[in-house]
């Protein structure tokens, strides 16, 4: 089964499992999507060139995330009100469906073993789904603790669904400083430098 077909089958199953609306859909997707990780454990194929992992790096860890993108209604530099991304808040699961990483403001990722990384986006590509946040390539800028995430140098956010801010018209004077949480799911791939053969 190709990655694309697997994604479509997964989405169809989630919709059938959760007919009660957007929030239920993403909850259903989170519950069943870890099966796709077990079926397709490798690095993603056919990604846009801009967000591919640099040459000389290999996949260390693949996870499936479910959570929210948190937006704040505030004035931009030009004085106009708009929704601004405040932080992600997501749980990342391994192929068995176990939560192993928390994703939060930074953007940062903290593994259950105490290792943590903060990264910055270095490239993006529009998601195939126009209602989804972009796909990203991120570069690690700081590490703390010792564990699984210690050698990570780059991260990809791909296969996104949901997460876009509300319409700009909904950020009004009456809602200044208010926050909204928008459900999203994604795959996160963590890379480390290729190790020299011993």
Q: Domain residues of the chain, as ranges?
A: 3-193
What pLDDT, on a 0 to 100 scale, did the predictor assign at position 190? Answer: 98
pLDDT(111) > 50:
yes
Mean pLDDT, range 63-68, rounded to an integer: 98
Does 37 have pLDDT greater than 90? no
Q: Residue 118: its pLDDT value, please?
A: 98
Q: Give the model's confidence band at 196: pLDDT under 50 very low, under 70 low, under 90 confident, else very high.
A: low
Given pLDDT bands bounded at 50, 70 and 90, which one contains residue 186?
very high
Cβ(164)–Cβ(68) under 8 Å? no
Strand partners for 102 = 91, 110
Task: Indicate whether 31 pLDDT > 50.
Answer: no
Confirm if 43 and 181 have CB atoms less than 8 A apart: no
CA proximity to 107, closest of 83, 82, 137: 137
Quick one: average pLDDT of 75-95? Answer: 94
Reported as half-sphere exposure (CB side, CA atoms, 13 A), residue 68 has a value of 11
Closest CA to 43 of 161, 158, 185: 158
d(CA 41, CA 55): 20
- Mean pLDDT calculated for residue range 48-54: 94
Q: Where residue 77 falls among pLDDT bands split at 50, 70, 90?
A: confident
Pairing outcome for strands 57-75 and 135-144: unpaired
DSSP sequence for the chain: --HHHHHHHHHHHHHHH-TT-HHHHHHHHHHHTHHHHHH--SPPSS--GGGSPPTTEEEEEEEEEEEEEEEEEEE-TTS-EEEEEEEEEEEEE-TTS-EEEEEETTTEEEETTS-EEEEEEEEEE--SSTTBPPEEEEEEEEEESSSTTTT--EEEEEEEEEBPPPPGGG--GGGTT-EEEEEEEEEEEEEEEPPPP-
Q: Is the pTM of this model over 0.85?
A: no
Model confidence over 127-164: pLDDT tens digits? 999 999 999 999 999 999 999 999 999 999 999 999 99
Cα three-residue angle 193-100-124, rounded to 5 degrees: 55
């Amino acid at each position: 089964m190709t990655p694309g077909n697997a994604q479509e089958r997964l989405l169809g199953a989630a919709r059938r499992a959760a007919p009660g609306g957007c929030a239920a859909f993403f909850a259903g997707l989170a519950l069943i999507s870890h099966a796709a990780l077990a079926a397709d454990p490798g690095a993603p194929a056919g990604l846009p060139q801009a967000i591919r992992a640099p040459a000389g790096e290999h996949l260390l860890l693949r996870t499936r995330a479910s959570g929210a993108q948190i937006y704040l209604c505030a004035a931009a530099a030009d004085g106009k009100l708009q929704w601004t991304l405040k932080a992600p808040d997501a749980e990342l699961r391994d192929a068995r469906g176990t939560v192993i990483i928390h994703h939060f403001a930074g953007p940062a990722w903290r593994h259950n073993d105490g290792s943590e990384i903060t990264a910055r986006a270095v490239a993006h590509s529009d998601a195939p789904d126009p209602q989804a946040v972009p796909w990203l390539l991120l570069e690690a800028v700081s590490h703390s603790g010792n564990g699984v995430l210690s050698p990570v140098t780059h991260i990809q956010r791909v296969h996104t669904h949901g997460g876009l801010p509300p319409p700009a018209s909904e950020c009004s004077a009456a809602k200044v400083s208010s926050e909204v949480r928008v459900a999203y799911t994604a795959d996160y791939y963590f890379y480390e430098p290729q190790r020299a053969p011993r």
